[in-house]
């Protein structure tokens, strides 16, 4: 069991006028990585930012924070190289957005990044499974991608459990509506990379929320290892 509990705040609902300091604040509060949501107005009905902003963040923050790029874009092939140059560490693309996932995985690796593969709520986990041996992380969306602050979809948990049973050492991320109320479900199902946006950003004490999320997740991982 090679994976560990990691918490990645999503900065989508932060004060975007001071994105750099919001990211620093999250790292200072104990975040394990930063989950950066890229939206192009085509794949999802919302727009955020692209590689120029990522490059500025990298310059502002230095090489330490791990940038997990959640690419909610219609043409994920187009942004692989620019994101790598900008300082992205992991390129998480949506299976629904490409007809050649194999090629894209290869390209991401050639550009020196880790590979994340995301599925929307309507996509089955069996569609992701053929690629699981070639990726670093599977992202099971627990809301329809596009906006922060939505309600957690508990009915996505069987996907996480199935992935955990089939791929015991894979990093499995959940994203959407995750916070203190829903973390137990995610952790029990087998998720180990936890994205949380509004629950952390809107809290008066983000450090405690991050620490709570990590503790719940770490306990579930330990329990699973004892049960094996
Ligand atoms: O990718 C997305 C939404 O599309 C997420 O990363 C959310 O932005 C997470 O925010 P909360 O749902 O936790 O508020
Ligand atoms: Fe996301």
184 annotated as belonging to a binding site for a ligand:
no
pLDDT digit string, tens, across residues 113-150:
999 999 999 999 999 999 999 999 999 999 999 999 99
27 CA distance to ligand 2 middle (Å):
17
Q: Is the pLDDT assigned to residue 1 strictly greater than 70?
A: no
Q: Is the pLDDT assigned to residue 228 strictly greater than 90?
A: no
Residues 6+ apart with CB under 8 A from 128: 95, 117, 119, 138, 163
Does 175 participate in catalysis according to the annotation?
yes
Tell me what ipTM this predicted complex has: 0.99
> Is the Cβ–Cβ distance between 7 and 174 less than 8 Å?
no
Distance CA 135, CA 137 (A): 6
Using the atom order of ligand 1, give the atom closest to the CA of residue 44. 4
Mean pLDDT of 36-43: 98
Which residues does ligand 1 sit against, CB inside 6 Å?
A: 10, 12-13, 35, 37, 70, 143, 145-150, 175-178, 195-199
**Mutation to probe ligand 1, out of 8, 34, 37, 71 (largest number of atoms < 8 A from CB):** 37
pLDDT digit string, tens, across residues 57-75:
999 999 999 999 999 999 9
Q: Write the DSSP string, 140-169.
A: EESS-TT-SSPPP-GGGHHHHHHHHHH-TT
Residue 13's pLDDT band (cuts 50, 70, 90): confident
Q: Does the pTM of the predicted model rise above 0.80? A: yes
pLDDT over 90, % of the chain: 97
51 annotated as belonging to a binding site for a ligand:
no
């Amino acid at each position: 069991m090679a994976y560990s509990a990691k918490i990645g705040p999503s900065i989508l609902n932060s004060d975007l006028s001071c994105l750099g300091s919001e990211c620093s604040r999250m790292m200072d509060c104990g975040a394990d990585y930063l989950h950066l949501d890229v939206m192009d107005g085509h794949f999802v009905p919302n727009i955020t930012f692209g590689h120029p902003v990522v490059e500025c963040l990298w310059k502002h923050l230095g090489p330490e924070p791990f940038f997990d790029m959640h690419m909610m874009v219609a043409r994920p092939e187009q942004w692989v190289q620019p994101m790598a140059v900008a300082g992205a560490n992991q390129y998480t693309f949506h299976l629904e957005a490409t007809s050649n996932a194999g090629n894209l995985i290869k390209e991401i690796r050639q550009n020196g990044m880790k590979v994340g593969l995301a599925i929307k709520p309507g996509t089955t986990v069996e569609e992701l499974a053929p690629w699981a041996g070639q990726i670093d992380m599977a992202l099971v969306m627990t809301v329809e991608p596009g906006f922060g602050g939505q309600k957690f979809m508990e009915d996505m948990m069987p996907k996480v459990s199935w992935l955990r049973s089939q791929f015991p050492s894979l990093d499995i991320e959940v994203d959407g509506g995750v916070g203190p109320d829903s973390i137990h479900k995610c952790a029990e199902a087998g998720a180990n990379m936890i994205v949380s946006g509004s629950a952390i950003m809107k809290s008066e004490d983000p450090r405690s929320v991050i620490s709570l999320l990590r503790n719940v997740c770490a306990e579930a991982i330990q329990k699973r290892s004892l049960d094996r």
